[in-house]
Amino acid sequence: MHGPLPGFESGTSRPVAGLIDSEGVQADFVEDELVVTTEDPARLKALLSRWGGQVIHTLRSHQPIPPHYLVRVETSTPTRRG
């Protein structure tokens, strides 16, 4: 597992965590961040609303693929839908 990554804001860092499956394969990821791929602004807005999310980076390609959004989420208090 890697140490923290530099943050997007000055003086911050992005903590890295990891999971190991039953085969011993490890996957590292940044805590509280998702990569979201969508062309539907309403779906992105719904995810942001439910998870207290904030888009911290957007990647748009000249290729025929949808935009990718790096989203920071608040995992301690998701908004539940009824």
Distance CA 65, CA 48 (A): 21
Structure tokens at 55: 């888009």
For residues 38 and 2, the model is more confident at: 38
- Determine the pLDDT at residue 1: 62
Which tens digit of pLDDT belongs to each residue from 5-31? 888 888 888 999 999 999 999 999 999
All structural domains of the chain with their residue ranges = 1-31, 32-82
The residue whose two tokens read 């140490």 is 3
pTM: 0.75
With a cut of 80, say whether residue 80 has pLDDT above it: no
Residues 18, 27 contacting (CB under 8 angstroms): yes
- Determine the pLDDT at residue 9: 82
Bridge pairing between strands 13-14 and 33-37: unpaired
Backbone conformation region of residue 43, classed left if phi is above 0, alpha if psi is from -120 to 50, else beta: alpha
